[in-house]
Structure 1
Amino acid sequence: MTRYLAADLHFDHAEVLGYTDRPFASIGEMNDRLLDNWNAVVDPDDEVIYLGDLVVPSEPTTVRRWLRRLNGEITFVVGDHDEGVRRTRAVTARREYRFEAGGYRFLCVHDPAEAPADRTDWLIHGHHHDMRPDEFPFVDPGNRRSNVSVELTGYEPVPVAELIDYIRQGKRLRTRPS
């Protein structure tokens, strides 16, 4: 079993193509590529800590339909576009999630503004996509923070072990290295 991190898929969301730098010609192409990328790396018995904004508009039926198509056991931290996740029984909706791995403690939230200012854990978040990569890069050792929005991770979930390797290097990374 491998544990992954991901955020901000925004399935079905036409506007996300306009305010991010996603390289897709249409919503259909985006949906297909995101689903294929996810299922190519995540096996059914893997865990994915998903940090919000699955599908827009977020209705319970649509949320369930997308969740059934994604491999892995999903731990769901809700984002600002996840009203349907809160109303469905397909997955437990959390405001935050904490775990330890590789000698590090992690706090997972959707929006980094929701994290306590006095936190000592590494903060893993989404929300900012690729719109403010200087402030919210993929790895920011100075602020002990990682932005796992799909635009910064190559449009696929990132293994926690890989993120820990980058953290140990101590380098600021604007995006996930190819």
Structure 2
Amino acid sequence: MYSMSLISGYICDKCVTKNIMSIANIRRTANSIGMVLPSLILIGFGFVSSTPIAVTTLVLCLGLHSGVHVGFHINHIDLSPNFAGPIMALSHMFANLTSLLVPVLVSFIVKNDVTNQSRWRLVFIVIALFQILTNIIFVVFVKGKVQPWNFHEDEEMEKDDDKLVLDKTNKIVTKEVRNSTEKEQ
């Protein structure tokens, strides 16, 4: 997963710098690769009976799942560099709270028959469908630009000691350039 995260990050950076795709479309594509493909592999995993094939499918599943790091994980910074930390904390809190439901789901479906492969298949299908659903929600609502609520009031900007800021077109400029363009408008 670590290696695949580096590779997917490099590919996505190249797509941005060469203007092949917009940031929002890169986030959509990477997140879909990281959620939908592993979901399909997870469903297939439920039908595998060979140990080497099972290990291979899980490794492939986790390797492809690294696409979410270039998808929704980094999108917090796209939306609001000033508030990325709190936004990331909230989204990860909800993600981790839903993961607490997995043992409940497994105990409800598998019950005491942990060797029953058809029951485990159902668990993997439910988890895969949940991943696909959440990916669809992300793909529909993703934004790749800094949102207006990211910016502080002008008085707060003048008190800020940082030399570089983001303008409303999502470009990094010096504070003096931003102030002069705002006065011209």
Q: TM-score, normalised by structure 2?
A: 0.23
Which of the pair has more CA radius of gyration? 2
Q: TM-score, normalised by structure 1?
A: 0.23
Q: Which has the higher strand share?
A: 1
Q: Which one has more relative contact order, counting CA pairs under 8 Å at least 6 apart?
A: 2
Q: Which has the higher helix share?
A: 2
